[in-house]
Chains A and B, each alone.
Chain A
């Protein structure tokens, strides 16, 4: 006998569908258009609602949660200003291909288009920064739409999906029937790679004399770290990761040559410039990575694996394109390499590694360790040591972000959580909060800058309310350091509006939010402070490190330059270059 279906109101369908999707946390902020939903949330306990202090914080927290767990982050905001406040976070997730489901309240169906109170065209505003969006016009479509949204957000190349729900829909009722599966005739992502192309790639790989493996965020998104590691170690080729790919290959392994691109290592970038074969794995040839396209990898044949055909050959022509999920394609490549007769050219590879070690001797990340002024790099290095390289680290945007990427070698995926594509200041703190909610027993640190940190500082309240003890390391250089660096290099040190005047007392600020604040001014105090903060397991701690104001991020490839034209620090062993 068929089970009798329940009749539910739209607001209840919302709660039930999330429960049926296995959602545990919902990041949100109430308002008129979503009050029916808030009332339904009040009456259930399957989903914990996390009340943020600004809708941007909700999207970043859900985003951090998604990046750390691999499961989609879920957000609920009201119409109008609630929706517009969420847009920055939606765009942040979009550029880094992070699965989010964002529910925006909307004015009642019959009011749409009427300039009603708190009405904005949320569909129109979010359309260019979502993978897809839906307007629900009938309560009967609500459950299926939620199912579709989860499917679209998490499959193929992931991304944020917005569901706009008019208020009357949340009051209307219908039978609740949550579909087990859903199929969309217009959306069928390819997973398996083309066998012929994969064979071609294997052959090309084995014929290389100076190969480079360039892998990116796609490996993290695909949960393909094990496959990437096995594949790379079978071949013995050097591996470089993009900013988004860090952790996908163990950074402390000897085959890892560091991050590439604008602030990548000398050896990674020189390797790119001189290689004769490049295999791009879930990486999208971003302009921060390629530098001047005219000068990009001039000697290399290129293989590219990506699940999104539009990422392939978008910026750089590709010799062997493979559309598919990297996890599947790498598995296929691994079995060809294991079972085939071909072997890498050991002699050529030896010479190539010798060359790479020579580049490495330059020690491009070297910094001055003799001063008692706090060097920002040193703080990150100490954090790495004291957390045994095993913390979840979120970051904001600026110099501190680059130092975090350079000086905290990640050995596991999903540990490094930052906004790479949009470069959104304000991301770090709410993202850390989201990660801590997902993993309450893990150490979660946020490496930030004094300018970025205040962009979402209000979330310190949320950290208190939901007991998410995170450790914030603010590398306070009293400058928008990254802006200052560009002004120093390219605008003859005219520091136009990049100096942070009238900074708050960060210690008092942390305390006023109910947390612990520390101010650290000497290099010799760094280690003790971080230790103390880590020991305060139950408390959120804000460490205000007063760092060297003039420190720059090196190496640096300026706009319009090639990988072999890096700007190096005065500390590096330049004569080797």
Chain B
């Protein structure tokens, strides 16, 4: 099953390689991994999307917790949570395709952020599923380039994950 793990780590050089190294050394899956500083400059937040059986997810969480630089690991699947991913996508938008592209962007609540005679560049956020759905709804030959940020997430409600 797909899980979103949210980590707080000491903002030290090499922190990212400790986590990515752990995943590769132990043959765990990584679907996406993002890392950025938080409001506290000594702490980074990492969000990892991974998949595996319950036993594997348990091992992943335990192994992550064991890393000396990791302050906290939360499996967002255990909570009601929100996930978002940002996608930038450049489409061929010529002639009759141009209107069609615009219509699809509107349906999926994306925004056109750059326009040329031949292309649209679109910004879209949502769950990974929604972004997948948008891509699937397009004719493959329209797509010039896709960049996705990877998933970030937070639990719903009043609770916060703190260091």
Contacts and interface: CB of A to CB of B under 8 A. Distances in A.
Interface of A: 123-124, 127-128, 131-132, 135, 152, 184-187, 308-310, 313-314
Given A123-B14, A127-B17, A132 B65 contact: no
Contact of A310 (B18, B59, B69, B163): B59
**A-B complex: 8 closest residue pairs judged by Cβ atoms:** A310-B62, A132-B68, A186-B71, A309-B62, A187-B68, A128-B25, A310-B63, A310-B66
A131 B68 contact: yes
Nearest to A187: B68
B70 interface: yes
B21 A128 contact: yes
Interface residues of B, number: 20
Given A124-B17, A185-B163, A310-B62, 17 more contacts: A123-B14, A127-B18, A132-B68, A132-B69, A135-B14, A152-B68, A184-B68, A185-B71, A186-B9, A187-B68, A309-B62, A309-B65, A309-B66, A310-B59, A310-B63, A310-B65, A314-B59
Contacts of B27: none
A308 B66 contact: yes
Contact of A135 (B9, B13, B18, B55): B13
Contacts of B17: 124, 127
8 contacts: A127-B17, A128-B25, A186-B69, A186-B70, A309-B62, A310-B59, A313-B55, A313-B58
A308 B68 CA distance: 13
Nearest to A310: B62
Nearest to A156: B66
Contacts of B65: 309-310
Contacts, number: 36
Q: Which of B55, B58, B68, B71 has the most CB of A within 10 A?
A: B68
Nearest to A308: B66
Chain B interface mostly helix, strand, loop or mixed? helix
Nearest to A134: B12
B14 A186 contact: no
A311 to B, nearest CB: 9
B116 to A, nearest CB: 39
B75 interface: no
Nearest to A311: B62
Contacts of A313: 55, 58
Contacts of A123: 14
Nearest to B42: A185
A127 B16 CA distance: 12
Contacts of B10: 186
A313 B54 CA distance: 12
Nearest to A186: B71
B13 to A, nearest CB: 7
A498 B39 CA distance: 60
Nearest to A152: B68
A68 B70 CA distance: 32
Contacts of A314: 59
A186 B68 contact: yes
B152 to A, nearest CB: 21
Contacts of A131: 68
B21 to A, nearest CB: 6
A135 B13 CA distance: 9
Interface in B58-98: 58-59, 62-63, 65-66, 68-71
Contacts of B59: 310, 314
B21 A127 contact: yes
Nearest to A129: B25
A124 B62 CA distance: 22
Nearest to A127: B21
A132 B70 CA distance: 11
A309 B59 CA distance: 9
A127 B62 CA distance: 18
Contacts of A135: 13-14
A10 to B, nearest CB: 19
A106 to B, nearest CB: 13
B53 to A, nearest CB: 12
B35 to A, nearest CB: 15
A291 B109 CA distance: 56
Contacts of B21: 127-128
